[in-house]
Structures are given as structure tokens and as C-alpha cells.
């Protein structure tokens, strides 16, 4: 899979550990930074990864900041993006299966590296269940409609 990854200063160390982890599993990772631990603004990196996913430069995205919240809020402002913050693997599996999340986010100050790996494994090995369960597709379509209604 082609994965776009982005983060703020709080998550450089975690991102640097996760890139080789993903590559070892056969994924191609496009790194949108930041690669510096100097304070920066997470919306910038949320936008970069969101655009890469929206424009299909990547199959999905991974966003990491201190909590995972700020950077996912920013990404979710880009139409077509469904970025979901997870702190454990069950949610990571279900945001793909039920919500068709195209970006997974988590907090480097909230989860440890091993949990982050488990979150990624759960998310990347799951499939959207919209075909099996049309109700999931209907609800995701409703989110898209909301996006159109208020834009
Ligand atoms: C940066 O200090 C911190 O606010 C940021 O990483 C993130 O947690 C915001 O949601």
C-alpha cells in the first residue's frame, strides 16, 4: 500500500520508528514531515497528508501529533477526508470497517510505540464493509452529504 505520513514536532521520534516498520511490511511510505523537533503548526501537515489522500497520491494516510486530535481536525476540513483518531486497535479496525476512514491518527503523547504499531496493523489489514453491510455505506454517504450541505 502507498501510505502518506505526516506529523508535528511532538511525533518526530514516533514517525521515524514507524516508517521502517511499515516499509518492512512491504508498504511504500511518503513522508510529508515535519522532520524537525522545533515547534511547528500541525494543520500544515494535516493538510499535506489530506491532499495526498484526496488526490490519490496515496491509498491512505497516517497523522500523528501530541494527541492526534489537532492534526486530524485539520485533515477533516479537506473534502472527502475521513480522519479518525484511535488509541487502540479495535477502534482502528472499526473506523476502516464501518466508517471507511481514509486517514488514521493517533497521539505520540497518548499511545506508546508498540500500541501505535498495533493500531496501524489493525487499520491497514481491515476493509470497509460497505458492500456486505449497505447501512455502513449509507452512513458514510450521509457524511459526504453533510460536507456538501455546509460547504
Ligand atoms: C503541540 O504541543 C500539541 O498541541 C499538538 O501536538 C497536538 O496535541 C494538538 O492537538
Q: What is the pLDDT of residue 129?
A: 97
Of the candidates 84, 26, 14, 94, the one whose C-alpha atom is nearest the C-alpha of residue 53 is 84
Residue 20 near residue 31, CB atoms below 8 Å? no
Full-prediction pTM beyond 0.95? yes
* pLDDT surpassing 90 at residue 29: yes
What is the extent of the structural domain holding 79?
A: 2-149
Q: For residue 71, which atom of ligand 1 is closest to its CA?
A: 10
Say how many domains are in the chain: 1
pLDDT band at 151 (very low <50, low <70, confident <90, very high): confident
Which residue has its alpha carbon closest to ligand 1 atom 5? 66
CATH number of the domain where residue 117 is located: 3.40.1400.10
pLDDT tens sequence across 60-74: 999 999 999 999 999
Alpha carbons 80 and 102: distance in angstroms, whole number: 9
What's the 89 CA to ligand 1 centre distance in angstroms? Answer: 22
Return the pLDDT at 11: 98
Q: What is the pLDDT of residues 3-16, one digit of tens each?
A: 999 999 999 999 99
> Average pLDDT of 124-137?
96
Q: Is the separation of the CB atoms in 135 and 39 below 8 Å?
A: no
38-55 pLDDT tens trace: 999 999 999 999 999 999
Amino acid at each position: 500500500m502507498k501510505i502518506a505520513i505526516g506529523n508535528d514536532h511532538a511525533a518526530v521520534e514516533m514517525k521515524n520508528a514507524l516508517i521502517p516498520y511499515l516499509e518492512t511490511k512491504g508498504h511504500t511510505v511518503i513522508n510529508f514531515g515535519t522532520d524537525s523537533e522545533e515547534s511547528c503548526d500541525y494543520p500544515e501537515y494535516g493538510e499535506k497528508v489530506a491532499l495526498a489522500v484526496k488526490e490519490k497520491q496515496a491509498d491512505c494516510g497516517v497523522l500523528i501529533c501530541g494527541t492526534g486530535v489537532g492534526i486530524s481536525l485539520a485533515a477533516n476540513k479537506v473534502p472527502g477526508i475521513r480522519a479518525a483518531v484511535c488509541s487502540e486497535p479495535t477502534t482502528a479496525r472499526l473506523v476502516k470497517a464501518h466508517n471507511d476512514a481514509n486517514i488514521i491518527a493517533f497521539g505520540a503523547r497518548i499511545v506508546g510505540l508498540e500500541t501505535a504499531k498495533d493500531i496501524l496493523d489493525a487499520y491497514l489489514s481491515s476493509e470497509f464493509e460497505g458492500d456486505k453491510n449497505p447501512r455502513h455505506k449509507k452512513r458514510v454517504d450521509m457524511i459526504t452529504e453533510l460536507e456538501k450541505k455546509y460547504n
